[in-house]
Amino acid sequence: MRRRLAAVVATAVTGIVAFAGPATAAPADKPQVLSGWTQTSAASYNSWLAARGAQGTWSSYGFDWSTDYCSSSPDNPFGFPFQTSCARHDFGYRNYKAAGSFSANKPRLDDALYADLKRVCSAYSGVKKASCDSTAWTYYQAVKALGNSPAVDGSASV
């Protein structure tokens, strides 16, 4: 009986160890991919947007795709669709914080948000464009000044 129990335990332990396997690290190019998706250009924005739509493809990278969009500000102020731009900004903030290199990248992340918002505003003309541009500028100034605060960076407890 003891031998049978020992054999069962040994088989179970071997199966668990074989099944668990070693932990896998994120691909070595994760910093380059993250950087490529957080630049000020429209190409960077479009690459990030495509990846966001296919997050499963990037699962081995361990990116944090969570977002609270424009935090405590309206996501679509005055009808201007800022939500997706704010989501990319959150992506940059969350992932650079996780990488331990947020401070070095924050100015570029904020600049990328502003570039994204200005591209949203480029769809308008006249007074509506001026209003959108003004709102984009306000959002940009807010993240520059308050982007490290819990209310803006999404770390505030609800």
Indicate which residues carry an active-site annotation: 89
DSSP state, residue 61: G
C-alpha 64/C-alpha 53 separation (Å) is 14
> Hey, is 82 helix, strand or coil?
coil
Tell the residue number behind the tokens 């100034």, with chain if given: 141
C-alpha 68/C-alpha 71 separation (Å) is 5
Q: Are 107 and 131 in contact (CB under 8 A)?
A: no
Burial 77-112 (b: 16+ CB within 10 A, else e): beebebebbbbbbbbbbbbbbeeeebeebbeebbbb
Tokens of 152: 């803006």
